[in-house]
Amino acid sequence: MGRLFGTDGVRGKANADLTPELALAIAVAAAHTLAESDRSHAPLAVVGRDPRASGEMLEAAVVAGLASAGANVLRVGVLPTPGVAFLVGETKADLGVMLSASHNPMPDNGIKLFAAGGHKLPDEVEMRIEAAIEANAATAWERPTGAGIGRVHDLLDGADHYVQHLVGSVPHRLDGLKVVVDCANGAAADIAPVAYKEAGAEVIAIHAEPDGLNINDGCGSTHLDVVRAAVVEHGADLGLAHDGDADRCHAVTADGEEVDGDQIMAILALAMREAGTLTEDTLVATVMSNLGLRLAMSREGIRLVETRVGDRYVLEELRASGLALGGEQSGHIIVPAYATTGDGVLTGLHLMSRMAATGRSLADLASVVTKLPQVLVNVPVGDRTVGATAPAVVAAAERAEAELGETGRVLLRPSGTEPLVRVMVEAATEGTAREVAERIAAEVRQASPA
């Protein structure tokens, strides 16, 4: 078995790559690994999912696996990933399981695991779970019988608790703002519109009727055209778009211009510094963030710390250094005072709160960041490690960086979830960035043909 966990949990086509048998094995191994330090009580697990149809099947397998390992289970049903993480902490559970493939298309699904407190797992713990599955440790562990088998209950008011937590975090009410929210026919559908309304905004919800098959289908944070059009049609102050499990937030201005995670982080960083809550005047972002964010934060006197790609690595840095804000260009924004992972609805609330508090438009607030042209080429490969590290590829990237100098940069990264190598180039002009990216992508294709 190769590496099972990717950048954000285990992901694959449901019932083909990600089977009920694998889901059950992951659940058993996770229950033993994450609750092994204290067996004085039956472990407690929180299980949630996004609305894609395969989640029903995989939820059954995960719940069975947890109960067979002696863990009691609280099912919270369809809920955003950050909502599941929040409830892991609220219920003092030993672990949490979220079934979602985030922004991926409906046939895919995934398993995200949380430790006590609602924190994503470090690599070392994921590797222990993988090793247990590979060794078929599930059959070696003593299986409880009788009263030792875990019990399963539904947490019926979990969503209400989560919404109240979100609304209670808002520093300034949203009265007077009109927002269009694209719920991606996903887990945000019953959460985001309610939270935004309760915080005072006028809300127009679109793609908020999930049927299990339409999640992320031409909508959400990776398809902004529809929310752009709706904002202009309704004369809204802004639009917000979430992904399938609502841990991301992208925005559009009143004129339909995109505001990405880098710009949102800059807006929130300045707001938090003004409020005295931006610890050490420091923002944490990943290596994928635009050079324009770095330049803007330097100009504003805010230090920027970089991590690997993945919101869990941002969170690890936030926790290790006691910092207060971090995130990714993709719209995963983490505010540790209120969330243990990226939370799209929380982000939307705090972004609108800044607009309401200042009376400034989103376009005006976002103008603090002047983004450099950035071209991302996703190259299908046979082996993503070879494609990213072959000598010819590395040499091409080094030549390009020398050519660009301080006016740009190159980033090569194997995808954590797909057989792709991501080639990202920033340069003074889009033409230059695209030419350099395609040149490097050609070397990747030659090094590891798909």
How close are the terminal C-alpha atoms of the chain, in Å?
A: 20
The verdict on 189 and 296 lying in the same domain is yes
Order of strands across the sheet with 303-307?
Answer: 303-307, 282-286, 326-327, 333-334
Write down the H helix ranges in 91-122.
Answer: none
Residue 3 lies in a domain: no
Residues of the chain with pLDDT under 70: 1-2, 36-40, 137-140
CA atoms 426, 429, 430, 431: torsion sign? negative
Nearest C-alpha neighbor of 17 from the set 444, 418, 430 = 418
pLDDT given for residue 37 in this prediction: 55
Order of strands across the sheet with 238-241?
Answer: 202-206, 178-182, 238-241, 250-252, 258-259
Q: Please confirm, yes or no, whether 361 is among the known catalytic residues.
A: no
Structure tokens at 35: 């609750």
Please pick, among 54, 102, 289, 448, the residue that the annotation labels catalytic: 102
Q: What is the C-alpha radius of gyration for the chain, rounded to an integer number of angstroms?
A: 22
pLDDT given for residue 6 in this prediction: 81
- How many domains are there within the chain? 3
Query: What CA–CA distance (Å, rounded) separates 220 from 352?
Result: 18
Query: What CA–CA distance (Å, rounded) separates 405 from 74?
Result: 54
Beta bridge partners of 334: 326
pLDDT given for residue 138 in this prediction: 54
Q: Is 245 annotated as a binding residue?
A: yes
Query: What CA–CA distance (Å, rounded) separates 247 from 148?
Result: 35
* 178-182 and 95-99 beta bridge pairing: unpaired
Residue 88 lies in a domain: yes
The verdict on 179 and 112 lying in the same domain is no
**Which single residue is written with the structure tokens 């979430």?**
242
Provide CB contacts within 8 A for 313, sequence distance 6+.
Answer: 286, 307
Structure tokens at 143: 């299986």
The verdict on 209 and 283 lying in the same domain is yes
pLDDT given for residue 141 in this prediction: 75
Residue 127 lies in a domain: yes
Query: What CA–CA distance (Å, rounded) separates 294 from 296?
Result: 6
Residue 16, SS3?
coil
Range of the domain at 63: 10-156
Q: What is the identity of the amino acid at 80?
A: P
Q: What is the pLDDT of residues 218-264, one digit of tens each?
A: 999 999 999 999 999 999 999 999 999 999 999 999 999 999 999 99
Q: What is the 3-state secondary structure (H, E, C) of 32-65?
A: HHHCCCCCCCCCEEEEEECCCCHHHHHHHHHHHH
The verdict on 167 and 20 lying in the same domain is no
Nearest C-alpha neighbor of 426 from the set 370, 379, 383 = 370
The verdict on 169 and 310 lying in the same domain is yes
Query: What CA–CA distance (Å, rounded) separates 257 from 252?
Result: 5
Asked which of 302, 334, 366 is the last residue of a domain, the reply is: 366
pTM equals 0.89
The verdict on 249 and 218 lying in the same domain is yes
The verdict on 52 and 78 lying in the same domain is yes
Q: What is the pLDDT of residues 41-62, one digit of tens each?
A: 789 999 999 999 999 999 999 9
Residue 1 lies in a domain: no
Residue 2 lies in a domain: no
Residue 97 lies in a domain: yes
The verdict on 211 and 276 lying in the same domain is yes
Residue 75 lies in a domain: yes
The verdict on 329 and 225 lying in the same domain is yes
The verdict on 197 and 146 lying in the same domain is no
Asked which of 114, 135, 156 is the last residue of a domain, the reply is: 156
Residue 65 lies in a domain: yes
Nearest C-alpha neighbor of 427 from the set 442, 407, 444, 411 = 407
The verdict on 152 and 189 lying in the same domain is no
Residue pair 177/355 in contact by the 8 Å Cβ criterion: yes
Q: How far is CA 287 from CA 65, 209, 253, 312, 334, in A?
A: 37, 36, 26, 14, 16
Q: Is 289 annotated as a binding residue?
A: no
Q: Is 108 annotated as a binding residue?
A: no
Query: What CA–CA distance (Å, rounded) separates 306 from 245?
Result: 25
Q: Is 160 annotated as a binding residue?
A: no
The verdict on 195 and 138 lying in the same domain is no
Structure tokens at 344: 């799209």
Query: What CA–CA distance (Å, rounded) separates 337 from 346?
Result: 11
CATH number (domain holding residue 439): 3.30.310.50
pLDDT given for residue 435 in this prediction: 96
CATH number (domain holding residue 82): 3.40.120.10
Asked which of 139, 156, 173 is the last residue of a domain, the reply is: 156
